[in-house]
Amino acid sequence: MSRLARPTLLLVALLLPGAVLAASEEIEAAARIVIGELEAWDVNAAREAVDELLAREPDSRRAKALHAQVLFEEGDYAKSAALWDELGAPDEDMALLARATHQVTKSYESVESKHFVFRYPPGKDALLAPYALEALEKIYAAMRADLGFGPPNKIAIEVYADAKALAAVSTLPLEAIKTSGTIAICKFNRIMFTSPKALVHGYGWLDTLAHEYVHLVISKKSRNSVPIWIHEGLAKFLESRWRGEAGQALSPASEAFLGQEAKKDALIPFERMHPSMALLPSQEDAALAYAEVFTAIELMHRKGGNAALVKLMDELRGGADYKTAVSRTVGAPFPKFMADWKAYLARREYPKEVAPLSAERRRFTEDEAQRPAAKGSEEEREKIRFGDFLEIEDSEGRKLAHLGDLLHARGRHQAAVEEFARAYKRVKNRSPALSNRYALALMKLGDFKRAEELLTASLKPFPSHATTHLHLGQVQMATDRAALAERSFFEVVAQDPFDPRPHQALAEIYGARKDALRLEREKASLAILMGKEKSAVESKGVVVVRSHPFARVLLDGVDTGRSTPTKLLVMPGQHVVRLVNSERGFSQETTVEVVAGEEALVEVMLDEPAPEADGG
């Protein structure tokens, strides 16, 4: 028998006293079934239930409103919005959400894999699709193996241009997104994420997609019965499965911060994480919360493996509260589990070489553009003079690094190495900018061994730094280790996919390997970045442009719309790069020769080296 009453039973009810009231109550009961299935993340069951309801009550406003909601969760935003309009619901929350989502996504294009549909706005975000679908299919297979579940329908993945667009389609307040650093959410039967180009240095977007997919699996497998702290703990612990083993996603900075706060007995109670990590008051609180729940799930997994994680979800789906579910999973009372977890944190070994947690803070491009330093201020002068080296707290180390950079820009690489070495002696691997510039100078001298040592050491505290992975890949290519270089360049794509350099390097690797499919992917990515046909970009080169102070970049007399530092993909041959800074009153022109498949560097340093540089 259907979950709804058969029409014949409804007819009988109408012949009885109080039939009108009974019918109304039955319709409301049917509506609650639809709502319950949506809340349980079973959209197929919700579709079946609403279709039965509409067949009996086609003119019911209640039934039509539920139909609009089901259409929305099926991804048909246009029909959902139109139905809400037909119902005359201008201010209802779901109507507003359907219209906003349709408005944001109406021009989207899509590409599919076996289990996913990737939707994206026209433009550069198209290059994300093949990498995203490959990673998602890997996490799909991993969750089928680990948790025994895969969604019955293809899952929609949608990318949004910026935080404002994510707020419009997700119900999350924009302020909460910026405060917590939220860049993705799994809700309404789909995964929504922000384009990496919306953040200053990109972010680990492929890990993020895997993380959100684990959320979706948990919601569907458990019928949305898992509390937020367990939800986030499972997703964080399992997100690395698309790459390899579980439990690899906690950054050194977050792990060290957890150790520090645990020692101070300043942990965030699990109950405070409800209803969403995105609503925690700061990115630091969010990082701590993720680290806490990661280690709680890690401890359960150590005790019982994947079977423990499945049992935990099954207990919650069966109606147990989280304390009972955890107790049954670990075979001990919940207070004992909490005591064991805190003891586990106390004896855990925490990384010694870590970046400050502030280094992981997500910076949105639009916010950086809105917060320029005041003209003529000390902040502006420091930014102009030291640029990336402002991250160095040691003032003498900062000056030495800046001097090395000026010498390097003038082609005095040996002198630059000496100054960088003096700076590094003070700063060690705590500045990615210093480690990378030092390594570049060493590469110019052919000292690839020392350059690799510096870059590898820098990745210990800063494992997701895209520029470091890029330069490490270049060292590995220069020393004939293409397989290692491939991994390094892919790490750049996984963080900052809009940089053309890793795509060019990967194209070279796949071309030499005769890997036609991956070669085609990289050529397509380069074509998208240039807005050209693939054939037009196969033989291009890259111009890397840097300057002190920052400047607007013109290429062959045309304003590129970019400022330094930047990368330009151009045809081989001579090009004229002009750097203009009207506030500082300078304009400088450089002619550069570009070779296909290679990088050409344009560096303009208005600041002069200190007088003692010649003697160093």
pLDDT in tens, 291-343: 999 999 999 999 999 999 999 999 999 999 999 999 999 999 999 999 999 99
pLDDT tier at 359 (50, 70, 90 boundaries)?
confident
Evaluate if residue 19 carries a pLDDT over 70. no
Degrees (nearest 5) of the Cα angle 586, 592, 594?
A: 145
pLDDT in tens, 397-414: 999 999 999 998 888 999
Assigned CATH class of 539-616: mainly beta
Can you read off the two tokens belonging to residue 33? 């079934």
Contacts of 416 (CB under 8 A, 6+ apart): 404, 405, 407, 408, 441
Distance, CA of 185 to chain centre: 11
Evaluate if residue 499 carries a pLDDT over 90. yes
Cα–Cα distance for residue pair 441/403, rounded to 1 Å = 13
At 374 the pLDDT is: 47
At 91 the pLDDT is: 78
At 611 the pLDDT is: 43
User: Per DSSP, what are the bridge partners of residue 594?
Assistant: 573
Q: What is the mean pLDDT of the chain?
A: 89
The residue with greater pLDDT, 460 or 359, is 460
pLDDT tier at 532 (50, 70, 90 boundaries)?
low
Can you read off the two tokens belonging to residue 544? 């890397």
Sheet holding 541-548, edge to edge: 566-570, 541-548, 599-605
pLDDT in tens, 231-242: 999 999 999 999
Q: Find where tokens 């007819």 sit.
A: 11
pLDDT tier at 534 (50, 70, 90 boundaries)?
low
CATH 3.90.1150.10 fits 109-357, yes or no: no
Distance, CA of 28 to chain centre: 41
Evaluate if residue 379 carries a pLDDT over 50. no
At 387 the pLDDT is: 66
CATH of 463-538, one of 1.10.3210, 1.10.260, 1.25.40, 3.40.50: 1.25.40
Whether the pTM exceeds 0.75: the reply is yes
Q: For residues 240 and 249, is the Cβ–Cβ distance under 8 A?
A: yes
Share of the chain above pLDDT 70, in %: 89
Cα–Cα distance for residue pair 322/312, rounded to 1 Å = 9
The 3-state secondary structure of 80-91, one letter per residue? HHHHHHHCCCCC
Whether 7-105 shares its CATH topology with 463-538 is answered: yes
Q: Give the domain ranges of the chain.
A: 7-105, 109-357, 372-431+457-462, 463-538, 539-616
At 409 the pLDDT is: 85
Determine the average pLDDT of the residues in 544-563: 81
Share of the chain above pLDDT 90, in %: 70
The residue with greater pLDDT, 249 or 588, is 249
Determine the average pLDDT of the residues in 72-101: 94
pLDDT in tens, 426-473: 999 999 999 999 999 999 999 999 999 999 999 999 999 999 999 999
Evaluate if residue 355 carries a pLDDT over 80. no
Helix and strand element counts for the chain (H, E): 26, 12
Evaluate if residue 357 carries a pLDDT over 80. no
Degrees (nearest 5) of the Cα angle 84, 86, 90?
A: 50
Evaluate if residue 483 carries a pLDDT over 60. yes
Which residue type occupies 88?
G
Evaluate if residue 18 carries a pLDDT over 80. no
The residue with greater pLDDT, 561 or 515, is 515
pLDDT tier at 527 (50, 70, 90 boundaries)?
very high
Q: For residues 611 and 412, is the Cβ–Cβ distance under 8 A?
A: no
At 565 the pLDDT is: 81
CATH 1.25.40 fits 7-105, yes or no: yes
At 12 the pLDDT is: 33
The secondary structure of residue 391, as a DSSP letter, is: G
Distance, CA of 207 to chain centre: 7
pLDDT tier at 8 (50, 70, 90 boundaries)?
very low
Cα–Cα distance for residue pair 431/465, rounded to 1 Å = 11
At 102 the pLDDT is: 97
Evaluate if residue 262 carries a pLDDT over 90. yes
Beta strand pairing call for 573-581 and 552-555: antiparallel
> How far is CA 260 from each of CA 46, 289, 294, 460, rounded to the nearest angstrom?
47, 13, 16, 19
Q: To 10 degrees, the CA torsion angle through 396, 398, 400, 404? A: 180
The secondary structure of residue 244, as a DSSP letter, is: S
pLDDT tier at 377 (50, 70, 90 boundaries)?
very low
Evaluate if residue 199 carries a pLDDT over 50. yes
| Closest alpha carbon to 253 in 396, 352, 383 | 352
